[in-house]
Amino acid sequence: MGLDVAFWILAVVGVTAALAVVLLGDVFRAALSLVLCFLAVAGIYLTLNADFLAVVQILVYVGAISVLIILAIMLTREVQRGSPSNRLRIPALFVAALFLVVVIYALLNTNWQISSVPPLEPTTPAIAGLLFGEGGFILPVEIAPILLLAAIIGAIVLVREK
């Protein structure tokens, strides 16, 4: 019962934060709303007993992507003006509505198989074993932070004053 309430509270917070990302005029506050949305998604993963996905959500999205976005905003000149009015607003609304219709159609016409039996063993050690053990994906996990660091350094070099 308590997890259901937590799930719905986190879902409302996540949807509200996502709407704030789209509707806020201040880009920095929109980025902070995006961080809140990412945290709400991590909380939803925790309520669904997907602890590995929650940790990855926090490390990758909250820790790396959000910091990169906020750093890019901080290095951008004239951030206070926000984004200017766009002539593609109506086509974007049409594409978003079309995407919503496709997603609703897929949700309603999919045969969702729900297991009533919980997993017999924790999923985190199994996934970690696949990633770092016999799967051999440790190299991409180590290369990704180096690429992010190179992107941050490149952004700083591009926007600095001459």
Q: Which of 58, 62, 55, 64 lies closest to 122 in space, CA to CA?
A: 55
Mean of per-residue pLDDT scores for the chain: 82
Q: Tell me what pLDDT residue 151 has.
A: 80
Burial of 124 (C-beta count, 10 Å sphere; 0-12/13-18/19+): middle
Q: Which of 29-33, 39-43, 126-130, 140-144 has the lowest mean pLDDT?
A: 126-130
pLDDT band at 55 (very low <50, low <70, confident <90, very high): confident
Q: Which of 5-19, 44-58, 145-159 has the lowest mean pLDDT?
A: 145-159
Q: CA-CA distance, 72 to 154, in Å (whole number)?
A: 11
For residues 28-42, give the mean pLDDT: 91
- State the fold for domain 2-79+124-159: Four Helix Bundle (Hemerythrin (Met), subunit A) (1.20.120)
Check whether 147 has a pLDDT greater than 60: yes
Q: Tell me what pLDDT residue 80 has.
A: 58
**Contact criterion met (CB below 8 Å) for 55 and 32:** no
**Contact criterion met (CB below 8 Å) for 80 and 47:** no
pLDDT band at 84 (very low <50, low <70, confident <90, very high): low
Check whether 53 has a pLDDT greater than 60: yes
Report the amino acid identity of residue 46.
Answer: L
Check whether 83 has a pLDDT greater than 60: no
For residues 31-55, give the mean pLDDT: 90
Q: CA-CA distance, 33 to 25, in Å (whole number)?
A: 12
DSSP-derived secondary structure letter, 121: S
Q: CA-CA distance, 33 to 16, in Å (whole number)?
A: 9
**Contact criterion met (CB below 8 Å) for 31 and 22:** no
